[in-house]
Chains A and B, each alone.
Chain A
Amino acid sequence: MSDAPQPAFVPSPEYLAREKRFYDAVSLKKPDRVPVASLAGFFVTQYGGLTNAEAISDYPRMAEAWLSSTKKLNWDMAPPPFTMFPAPVMELLGLRTFKWPGKHFADNSPYQFIEDEYMLADEYDEFLANPSDFVVRKMMPRMAETLEPLGMLPPLHWMSSGYTLIVFLAGLLGAPPIAGMLQKLIAVGEEMNKNNAVQAKLSQDLAEAGYPLITYAFAEAPFDWISDMFRGLRGVMLDMYRQPDKLKAAIDLFTPFAIQSALMAAQMSGNTRIFIPLHRGAGGFMSNKQFEEFYWPGLKAVMLALIDAGMLPMPFWEGDYTPRLPYLAEMPAGKVLGHFDVVDLKKAKAAIGDSMCFWGNVPARMLVTGTPQQVKDYCKELIDTFGDNGGLILDGAVDGVPPDSKPENVEAIMETALEYGVYS
């Protein structure tokens, strides 16, 4: 095996053309034509002939399907394959935070996220006093069966001497539950390495086929991190009334995490496009007053910090963001790529048409139950509305394109871009 350094990736002219097309749209310059890019997940593997259950357990076949689908769909960016979380790893971890196809659901069901109060209402003080200790000794055991023995550890700062390393740590390592956990975790690492090797090769193959990867790193709005991962929806909604200051303290604590973890992943991968899935800030969940008080400050701080670091934040404004448009208009022009789900198109154009590239938003039910002509007509409306300054990238509204979209409906999006989306 040669010790010579791997040849650096040399992007093909097609790769560079796709990248330019994408960034022109993002910065509100007219590209040669309307780009198409999608965060599709299981649609990509189903399009390539796999069930969802197969896609998350047979890594080489997943990679094969991903590559062939990317070429066939011929979007301007490759969809992100790392969303295919490996089922064997989740199984070995005994993960309670998800349920997945093949094990819990039918083979073509998507993953489902199991939200729960992994931190209880009366545990804010404990968490804020020592976040890492709380996460390791209380939350990890709740989130994953394999990690339950972590609850046996004493407060971590006790193990700050040779004495306590011997008495506590070495003592615990002899306990069968801890030893059993460590053995399982070695298996987790080995399985994850298998997955990562396939993912690394796939990334390379996609790039060599001429397709930039749409994203690699992600960040969450700090409110969503607390709501999704710690308190659940019900918990955080009650916290807004019953303990707003503690909720805000937790949000402040996680704001640097959202920024730093995204920067770290961007550095590791070389991919500066940062996807930001958003959940609880949508219209209907909270008032504008609550949005302004709890949700927006943390999210805005994250996006501005990412922009300062030369990254491209790509927030997914999931749900109806019409009531929030004035806040979106605060973002610096051409520096944020906003993915839209449901929104009043005219109001969106008026509020952010000159500042934020519009990414989306063919309705999910149209892709699943509609016709190619309906999709084409909708895409034409998008092009007519947003195309005047080039600030449009086409995609489905939600989940990129839903897994059960009719293939001909998805293909109609690219067809419209080619037939109707060429800028003169």
Chain B
Amino acid sequence: MSQELTDAIIEMREQDALRITNEMLETGVDPLEVLEACSSAMEVIGRRFEDDEYFISELILAGVMLKEISELVKPHLVQAAPTEKLGTVVVGTIEGDIHDIAKDIVVFMLDTMGFEVIDLGVDVPAARFVEAVKESGAQVVALSGFLTLAYDVMRDTVQALRDAGLTEVKVMIGGGQIDAEVQEYAHADGWGKDAMTAVNLAKQWYAV
């Protein structure tokens, strides 16, 4: 039934996925197996997104399905799901910008792919990024910004991290008007135009 569940999620069949989840839980299947079936599905979905087969609607629906399934699984968990995380990423939309949807998708993908994510929300001042990195020990920061005003703010945020002594922390940037030239302008370490690039950069930087 695990494979059935994985397939249902991959194929965006929400009602089937929920039905199979309930069947698995009612027949005493280990709830961790349910969660693993979800992870397998997300790997495939992530790849299809990279291959331009799946787009935003699939990522959003996948996120919704995973959340619904987790809610069904929670009461059945006798022990916490394995908490071994690949690394911590601090994510936020920069100060003065309130675009959040793309940032939320990045947060969701990083979380699903095994990272500990600290989501600072939107309109986040540089000082808060610095604080969050210091408190969590995160080695990777992801800055989201959609407006052209983001360029200077991203550069200032990167500078604030360096000024605070966080010279080894890696910073990636993303958003509508971001490209390699903006990365250079902002002195960031990487850039991406979608959520999977964020996941790949995080994996690369945490060497996992």
Contact = CB atoms under 8 A, between A and B. Distances in A.
Contacts of A398: 177
A241 B148 contact: no
Contact of B55 (A242, A290, A369): A290
Interface of B: 12, 14, 52-57, 60-61, 64, 96-99, 101, 147-149, 151-152, 176-179, 181-182, 185, 193-194
A369 B101 contact: no
B181 A369 contact: yes
Contact of B96 (A106, A286, A363): A106
A99 interface: yes
Bin chain A's interface residue count: 35 or more
A365 interface: yes
Contacts of B14: 241-242
A368 B148 contact: yes
Given A365-B179, A398-B177, A286 B149 contact: no
Nearest to A285: B56
Nearest to B123: A105
Nearest to B185: A369
B74 to A, nearest CB: 22
Nearest to A370: B181
Contacts of B193: 284
B96 A109 contact: yes
A238 B151 CA distance: 32
A241 B12 contact: yes
B148 A284 contact: no
Contacts of A365: 148, 151, 177-179, 181-182, 185
A355 to B, nearest CB: 26
B98 A99 contact: yes
A238 B60 contact: yes
B177 A364 contact: yes
Given A109-B96, A364-B177, A403-B148, A284 B56 contact: yes
Contacts of A284: 55-56, 193-194
B149 A233 contact: no
Contacts of B61: 237-238, 241
Contacts of B179: 363, 365
A106 B96 CA distance: 8
Contacts of A242: 14
A365 B182 CA distance: 7
A286 B182 contact: no
B96 A368 contact: no
Contacts of A164: none
Nearest to B181: A365
Given A286-B57, A290-B57, A105 B96 contact: yes
Nearest to A367: B148
Contacts of B177: 364-365, 398
Contact of B57 (A238, A364, A366, A370): A238
A147 B193 CA distance: 39
A396 to B, nearest CB: 10
B56 A241 contact: no
18 contacts: A106-B96, A109-B96, A109-B149, A110-B149, A112-B98, A233-B56, A234-B60, A237-B61, A238-B64, A241-B12, A241-B57, A285-B55, A286-B55, A290-B57, A363-B179, A365-B181, A404-B149, A405-B148
B56 A286 contact: yes
A287 B151 contact: no
Interface in A215-251: 233-234, 237-238, 240-242
A402 interface: yes
Contacts of A368: 148, 151
Contact of B182 (A99, A108, A369, A405): A369
Given A106-B96, A365-B177, A369-B181, A237 B148 contact: no
B194 to A, nearest CB: 7
Closest 5 CB pairs of A and B: A237-B57, A402-B148, A237-B60, A364-B177, A368-B148
Contacts of B147: 109-110, 112
Given A110-B149, A112-B99, 13 more contacts: A112-B97, A237-B60, A238-B60, A240-B57, A241-B61, A285-B55, A287-B53, A287-B55, A323-B52, A364-B177, A369-B151, A369-B181, A403-B148
